[in-house]
Every structure is written in structure tokens, then in C-alpha cells.
Amino acid sequence: MERFLKRKERVEIDIDNLRADPGLRPSIWSYDVNDRDRVRRAYLLKGPHQPKNHQFPQTTIRNIARRFNSKWFEDFPVWMEYSIQKDAVFCLYYYLFKPQEEVNTSKGGGDTFVGDGFKNWKRKEKLLSHVGDHNSAHNKARHKCEALMKLQEHSLSFRGHDESSSSNNQGNYVELFQFLANHNEEVRKVTFENTNAKLKLIAPKVQREICASIAAEILAVIMNDIDDSYLTILVDESCDVSTKEQLAIAVRYVDKLGQVIERFIGVTHVTSTNAITLKAAVEALLAKHLLRLPTIRGQGPN
């Protein structure tokens, strides 16, 4: 019984000396669960392994000698990796976030850019096929990589809102605003360059104004991202704590990178829940953000 209860010892990882060659790396899932994100961040910070000055060997494909072309790195600079050991191309994103259930499949997850790697130098179009559309395995993995790095950046830059009795950051909207000011020129101009630096800005009215300014800046970024694209609206009706009827409205659209984005854009109170009143409230909120009705499209179950 003791041998079944015995835990596997956690192996210490030298994060600064991870294997560079993608053909020699162990599966990301072979690392301890508490180490995986550290390993992922380390690889993302280093960037893809691209030995541009390597003498790439030739391979005979249908009686024609071919080899990997280092110029492909320029076309796919953020994810393409080359393994000297296997003379093959790999995908950094998919290595880091390949679904665990695919690790032991015979087809290497159904993608030649993991496992043994891609080495058909005659078929460059397969590189674009691997990237695929916004919902491809490659792009799903890319989104996870980007989210991981943003999470790390935010955790280092902003401690967040903590209501615990031992916290020194209870309701600290000023710190949140300072964080936004460090990342947004307009936010900095609006307040911190026109305010006495010694003021604590803790009055309820001031903090409400700060939150309103933050909301305005965030909405401006969202509207700029939407531009004149087609979009779908999502509307939810409910009561607030004072039992007043209100509508919460979000938008769904495809950004310039082909990613499906959902963003909350506001809440509006309504006097009744009849169809005419709800329609007028929705139109008013959309008009407030200069969103045109002709750009709205219906969305079916698929």
C-alpha cells in the first residue's frame, strides 16, 4: 500500500538552461504541474529557436535535392523553430500548449509541426495551412501564450484589489489608475500631469470620477478596435440591487488579426421591459458609442 501512496519526487528545473533544440525537448506535460507555466514563460521570453547561420543539409525529394530555407524565419518570426538534430521545423506555440490528451496519439496530435516535425521543403504552403484560421489549433495555442504573458505582466505590475483585513490595498483605485497611466499616454495626461502628486485621491466622488475615466479610456480602445467592422450584440436584462430594470450589453466581433473578441460595453437602466423600450435603450447605447445599426449581424447556433 505504501508504494501506491508514495508521491513522485519533484525534479528541480534549471530554468536558464532549458533545451533549445525543439527536437530534443521533453513534452511540456512531463514537467511538474507547478513548473509548466515557468517553463512556458522562459521559452516565450527566449523566442523560437532559429539557427539562421546553420548549414542546412539537403534532402532528395522526388529526385531533386532540397533543403530548409532560412528566409522562412522572416515569414514566420514568432513561432517557427528549426531543429538541427532532426532537420525539421516545429511550432513553438503548439509545443507549449499542445492539448494533453494528444500527447500519446500516434499522429503526434494530428499536426506535423510537433512530434517528428515538418520537413517537406517542397511544400511551403503547408506552413500557412498549419497556421489556419482564427479557430485553428495553432491560433488557440497562440492565444494561450499571449494570455500567459499578459497575466505575468499584470501580476508583476499591479497587485490588484484585495478586501482582506491584512491588505494594504483595500479599494485602492488610485493604484489601478497609476497602472493604467503607466501604460496609456491619454490616461496619464488626463489626471496625473494635472493633479498635485501629494493628493491621495481617496474621496468617494474623486474615486468615482477616476473609475469613470478608466471606463472611458477602455471603451475608446474597444471602439477603435471595432472600427467599422461587422458585429453581433449580446443583451441581458436583469435588476440591480435597487430593483431597477437594466440592460447589460456586450459586443462580439472579429478583430484585424482574425480573432473573435467579446467585450462588455455598458449598462443602461430601462423604465419597462416591453419590446419598444428595450429596442430604444439598445439603440441609444449603440449610438452613444457611434456603433452603426447596419454593421450588426445576426448569429445562428453554428
Instruction: Look up residue 202 and give its amino acid.
Output: I
Residues 280 and 35: their CA atoms lie apart, in Å, by: 52
Instruction: Look up residue 220 and give its amino acid.
Output: A
pLDDT of amino acid 213: 77
Residues 51 and 45: their CA atoms lie apart, in Å, by: 17
* Cβ neighbours for 80, distance < 8 A, ≥ 6 positions apart: 48, 50, 72, 73, 89, 90, 91, 92, 127
Is pTM beyond 0.75? Reply is: no
Domain 227-295 classified CATH 3.10.450? yes
Residues 95 and 115: their CA atoms lie apart, in Å, by: 9
pLDDT of amino acid 163: 38
Q: CATH 3.10.450 in the chain, residues?
A: 227-295
Cβ–Cβ < 8 Å for 202, 174: yes
Cα torsion 148, 222, 190, 179 to 10°: value is -10
Cβ–Cβ < 8 Å for 48, 81: yes
N- to C-terminal Cα separation, the chain? 51
User: What string of pLDDT tens digits covers the 302 residues of the chain?
Assistant: 444 344 456 667 888 889 999 999 999 988 888 888 889 999 999 999 999 999 999 888 778 888 999 999 999 999 999 999 999 999 999 999 888 766 544 343 345 777 788 988 888 888 888 888 888 888 889 988 988 887 765 555 444 444 344 444 444 455 555 555 555 555 555 555 555 544 556 677 777 777 777 778 788 888 888 888 888 888 887 776 666 778 888 889 888 777 888 888 888 877 777 778 888 888 888 888 888 888 888 866 55
Query: What is the DSSP annotation of the chain?
Result: -HHHHPPPPPPP--GGG---STTTPPPGGGS-TTTHHHHHHHHHHH-----TTS-PPPEEETTEEE---TTHHHHSTTTEEEETTTTEEEEHHHHHH--GGGTT-TTGGG-TTSTT-B--TT-THHHHHHH-STTSHHHHHHHHHHHHHHHHHHHHH------STT-S-TT-HHHHHHHHHHH-HHHHHHTGGGS-TT----SHHHHHHHHHHHHHHHHHHHHHHHTT--EEEEEEEEE-TT--EEEEEEEEEE-TTS-EEEEEEEEEE-S--SHHHHHHHHHHHHHHTT--GGGB------
